[in-house]
Amino acid sequence: MSNADAAQLHLLFLTGLAVAGLGCSSGAAPLTVPPDHEGPDSGTGSTPPTSATSASATASSPEAGPVDAARAYALEFHSVGSLANAFPNVEHLGRVNTNGMATFICEPAPCSKEWTKLGEQARGSGAVVRRNGVLEYVLIAGFKDALGVVDTPEKAAARLEYYDDAPLGTCGHFRSLGLACAAGSDDSGFAVRRVPGGFEVATYGGRNVCSGSFGHAIALGVMKISFDGDIQTAHQNVIVKLANEKAFEAAQPPLKCVSPQRGRMFEGFVDLPCERSELAYYVRAQRQEAAAVVAFERLAIELEAHGAPFELIEAARRSADDERRHTALFQREASRLFAELALPAELPGPNVPDSFVIRPLPEILRENIVEGCANETYAALVATHQAERAPTPRLRAMFASIASDERNHAALAHRLHAWGLGAVAPAVADSLRSEQRVAYERLRTSMDVTPIGRALGEPEPTLTLIAFDQVSQALSTQAGDTLT
């Protein structure tokens, strides 16, 4: 690739990050987040480390920015008392399930036998209300209509409580994280805050605290309830992130989860658990880069077997060489920390199979969609941001070198995809276009950043995915792909 092409790619990725509000132009102050992406759900609570901060110092306290944002955000929540106030003229509120058993709440307690009898007769989960002395049973399916417009905090909390059996979070749960609701709030009260278009309600229960992976624990969550009663999960909320990290650290037995991989991996690759230290970050990264060497070498052999253009084959071979350099760079950083900590150096290699077979072209193209068009484009954006925001000049220089290569790898993935669409049957090409849309959607719902990754300059996924949409569309167009 010529210097002009490399400069154009660099500008494309910087522009994508700037559009997303990450402000990644060299030497510039962070740009203002676009209005459509402001607020706690945007994941902008983390302040990037400055160039004067050492990597080790930053990595030791990665939550400083997010914790400050979480404290300010928690102060906007107020406690809500009786959910019976969600209904007019209600003197008693309770819940029964299909087995006629009282569950979760009954205000004031206890629920009488006549309540459970109504539940048995209704043959469905619902709420029992005593309105002006008369018992009424409302099925869950009709609960939204029974509430009407969700225009009070009590209605928002009741809508969520009777939606999916999710126990509500209290201001006391906030306090257990070192946070506090608004002044005058009761720790036993349900935590609710008003937002544009509705309310946010805290929940407390079993959650997957490893985004895109596995690792269930009891943790605080946040759901948004619109005035119309629609419910959405606030995945990238600053409270959710802090609660997930605290729950992960406190879980017994210890949880293992997998955070995003760095670029192209081969089929069957088994990643290391997500990193909890700067040293583990470099060890995991060097192993991923070594796996990428194998993936590109296999890709070059398979492309040659399928008669692909020479340019694509040679680009795959050059990419394998790039990944060797990346492996060495991360090994250098890991070795440095092993020496500083007086630990024996352990740099595990990837689990490479004894042999690979030449796969059918459609199978290769499907893998390229996930590992190339999706993962490598995302990885290139992350590295481009780290080249500007990593905490030391040495690390910024290292990530700048890596980012330049990863941008080329992302562009190669899109060129390979465009060529492949014309090399397979039309029906297969249509299937590949659909699979690309699915892969992009999976990326949007699975990507996360670990605390140590954030400390080493990785951006928050919410905004990076906005940049991903910009960049992937541009790369697709440049490659001659008409996929929309």
Angle between helices 377-389 and 393-423 (to 10 degrees): 160
Given a cut of 50, whether residue 344 has pLDDT beyond it is: yes
What is residue 244's predicted lDDT score, i.e. its pLDDT? 75
- What's the whole-model pTM score? 0.60
Instruction: Judge contact between 386 and 48, C-beta under 8 A.
Output: no
pLDDT tens string 434-473:
999 988 888 876 777 877 888 999 988 878 888 999 999 9
State percent of the chain over pLDDT 90.
Answer: 45
Q: Give 206's strand partners.
A: 218
Top mean pLDDT of 5-19, 201-215, 307-321 is at 307-321
Phi, psi (5° rounding) for residue 391?
-75, -10
| Minimum mean pLDDT range among 105-119, 260-274, 291-305 | 105-119
Which residues, including other chains, have CB under 8 Å from residue 441's CB and lie 6 or more apart? none
CB within 8 Å of 64: residues ≥ 6 apart: 47
| Tokens read off for 459 | 């951006």
Contact assessment for residue 84 and residue 129, using Cβ atoms and an 8 Å cutoff: yes
Confidence class of residue 255 from pLDDT cuts 50, 70 and 90? low
Element at 146 (helix H, strand E):
helix 143-147
Residue 106 phi/psi, 5° resolution? -155, 110
More confident: 134 or 391: 391
Residue 43: predicted pLDDT: 34
Res 186: pLDDT: 92
- The answer to whether residues 407 and 10 touch, using CB atoms and an 8 Å cutoff, is yes
Instruction: Render pLDDT for 176-225 as a digit per residue (tens, 0 to 9).
Output: 989 999 999 999 999 999 999 999 999 988 766 665 445 667 888 899 99
> Which structural domains are found in the chain, ordered by start?
3-46+261-478 (1.20.1260), 79-250 (no CATH)
